[in-house]
Amino acid sequence: MAANLIESIVKILFIFSVNIGFFSPILGWVERKQSALMQDRVGANRADVCGFTLIGLFHPIADAIKVLTKEDFIPEGADRLFHTIAPFISLTPAIITFAVIPFGGQYELFGHHVNLIIADLDVGILFVFAFASLASFGSVLAGWSSNNNWSFLGGLRASAQMLSYEVVMGLNIIGVIMVYGTLRLSQIGAMQADFFNWGIFLQPVGFVLFFTCAIAENKRAPFDVAEAESELVAGYFTEYSGMKFVMFWMGEFLEIVTIGALVTTMFFGAWHLPFVSDQMLLNYFRFAGPNGAASLAIVVNIITFFSKVIFFIWLQMTIRWTLPRFRYDQVMRLGWKMFLPIALINIFITGVVILAK
Amino acid sequence: MIDTLKRKGGCSSCGGVDDDSRLLGGSVILTKLEAINNWGRKYSFFQYPFVTACCGMEFMSVCGPKYDLDRFGAALPRFSPRQADLLMVVGTISHKQAPILVKVYNQMAEPKWVFAFGVCAVSGGFYDNYATVQGIDTLIPVDIYVPGCPPRPEMVIDGLIKLQQKVMESRWSDYPKGASPVSNDK
Ligand code: SF4
């Protein structure tokens, strides 16, 4: 019992510190450097502590200090309660969804069964979707409670876009569920121990659609019509300043990580190296004794998983700085008239193939 | 400034270096916090580009690959004044435009700074006529004046570094309190 408790607390602390402590500040820096790279610039590199600049890694800290000490503004006529809680609503789901994403296999460590996932729910995927849809409340409430036309339009656009793309995303997932026969993300991960069982080979169309819809769901360019600077000032968070405004960004960044993790788990072999199963890892590390082998295997699992996640983060950043923004009607047309039929056909073909096998 | 640093044996970015009267007047913790605060602010200007005329070309150049204002942490444009720290007034401000500028300035959340970019924003420039505001400091407080028609990017960067020094030297007592100093119906 105590061991279980310790295991859970360690896992929660680990994921929390990786997400809040590492990814969310570092992604601000990555985004700036990536944009600088794409535009042939140097990017932020001047913030120094005692003369050390560390290629600009202090800039996120400077930004954090600045936004924390910036005036917190609530516009006249705004709904104070909803205006205040909206950023929290949009930040929380991005953190919570990580609870059901496995970042490693299951091992025996000191006679205790370790499962590298915080909550091994048997409806893992549904949990992810439930919380992903909660995130749209954040944008809608932010837009509505600000008492500002631009915010309101941004909130409307955000809700329409998120709802439409969630439909397609859900239909994509059905293909994955049919192939693997389970909703439990840790099982989906475990089934991809064999390289040719990776989701990308079984559901290639599903991967492309899911990845695109996930970016659209996150409202990042090329799908950032909800904050479209050229049309809506700053979209649904026009009236937010200081830390609350940055919370929307943190939510966005953490969602990038979550999307990377989901794509890795469902389509890119989760924590597995190609052609290397967990059992093979344990055999490699046999020299370290059973506990040592398990610990080393856990470390390899975690490094593999987060390397893949970081790759997908990089991919999303590159897409964001490469493509121009779609027009609003184009976004809607893409979602309903192209992705939805393709997703349905994908399900049909998946079904036929499974029956034929 | 450098001399003071040497005498105190402090470090320009992390040290609570201060002049003597301040050291006697305030506590050490207060000075430190002030320094960290200023350090964060000086490397994190989110600008509001208020671009009205030809200086905009030079503004694009200074933000672009060759000169890259982002190196100083000052390239992130926020088009909502609530999220911006640095109001870049780039170009000629006509009397028709003046109320808009004042409104944007008032909408910005504290702390905020104003950067007069180009001689038109500084003093009206050669538009010495009835249509042009003779310098935006007749409307709103200005922190840095960068003359030139248009100013060279090097001058703008120099101006930004001067602004960073100014931010570094600001004190708690300088931080604005109470109502906005400029009213909308000017
Ligand atoms: S200072 Fe010169 S370049 Fe700049 S806006 Fe005025 S006229 Fe144009």
Q: For A121-157, write each residue's pLDDT tens digit.
A: 888 888 888 888 888 888 888 888 888 888 888 888 8
Q: Are A166 and A125 in contact (CB under 8 A)?
A: no
Closest CA to A94 of A32, A138, A64: A138
**Cα B57 to ligand 1 centre (Å):** 10
pLDDT of residue B19: 52
Which pLDDT does position B184 carry in this prediction?
Answer: 59
Q: Which CATH number fits domain B46-160: 3.30.70.1150, 1.20.58.1610, 3.40.50.12280, 3.30.1330.10?
A: 3.40.50.12280
Q: If you measure CA to CA, which chain B residue comes closest to A45?
A: B71
For chain A, the average pLDDT equals 83
Q: Are A26 and A313 in contact (CB under 8 A)?
A: no
pLDDT level of residue B6 (50, 70, 90 thresholds): very low
Looking from the CA of residue B149, the nearest atom of ligand 1 is 2
Identify the closest residue of chain B to A231 by CA–CA distance.
B79
Average pLDDT, stretch A186-210?
83
What whole-number distance in Å separates Cα of residue B11 and Cα of residue A48? 11
pTM to 2 decimal places: 0.82
Mean pLDDT of A10-35: 82
- Which of B13, B80, B85 lies at the smallest CB-CB distance from A49? B13
Give the pLDDT of residue B7. 37
Residues A225-235 pLDDT 10s: 877 777 787 78
Structure tokens at A191: 């089934």
CB-ligand 1 contact for B118 (6 Å cutoff): yes
- Atom 8 of ligand 1: nearest residue by CA position: B54
Sign, CA dihedral B156-B162-B167-B171, equals negative
CA-nearest residue to A238 within chain B is B80
In a mutational test of the A interface, the residue from B11, B80, B106, B110 whose CB has the highest number of chain A CBs within 10 Å is B80
Single-letter code of the amino acid located at A304: T
If you compute the radius of gyration of chain B from its CA atoms, what whole number of angstroms results? 18
| pLDDT, tens only, B111-164 | 888 889 889 888 888 888 888 888 888 888 888 899 888 888 888 889 988 988
Residues A322, A313: Cα–Cα separation, whole Å: 14
Residues of chain B with CATH 3.40.50.12280: 46-160
What does B112-176 look like in DSSP terms, one character per residue?
A: -EEEEESHHHHH-TT--STTB-S-GGGTS--SEEE-SSSPPHHHHHHHHHHHHHHHHT--GGGS-
Structure confidence at residue B178 (pLDDT):
63
- Residue with the bigger pLDDT between B116 and A219: it is B116
Contact state of B83 with A234 under an 8 Å Cβ cutoff = yes
Radius of gyration of chain A (CA): 21
Would you state the structure tokens that stand for residue B11, as one six-digit string? 């470090």
Contacting residues of B for A229, CB less than 8 Å apart: 79
CA of B181, closest CA in chain A: separation in Å? 15
Measured from the CB, is residue B92 less than 6 Å from ligand 1?
yes
State the amino acid at position B172 in one-letter form: W
Q: Count of alpha carbons within 13 Å of A3, Cβ hemisphere only? A: 8
Structure tokens at A254: 């953490």
- Residue with tokens 């893992």, as numbered in its chain: A124
Provide the token pair at B32.
Answer: 């430190």
Spatial contact of B139 and B89, defined as CB atoms under 8 Å apart:
no
Tell me which residue has its CA closest to atom 6 in ligand 1: B120
Measured between CB atoms, does B44 come within 8 Å of chain A? yes
B55 lines ligand 1 (CB under 6 A): yes
Report pLDDT for B23: 53
What band does A242 get if pLDDT is binned at 50, 70 and 90?
confident
pLDDT tens-place string over residues A53-104: 777 788 888 888 888 888 888 888 778 888 888 888 888 888 888 888 888 7
Q: What is the per-residue pLDDT for A233?
A: 79
Residue of A259, A109, A119 lying closest to A186 (CA atoms): A119
Distance between CA A108 and CA A113 in Å, rounded? 5
Tell me which residue has tokens 């944008």.
Answer: A139
Please report how many Cα atoms fall inside a 13 Å half-sphere around the Cα of residue B68, on the Cβ side: 18
What residues of A are in the B interface, CB distance below 8 Å?
A: 32, 36, 39-51, 58-59, 61-67, 69-73, 229, 233-234, 237-242, 245
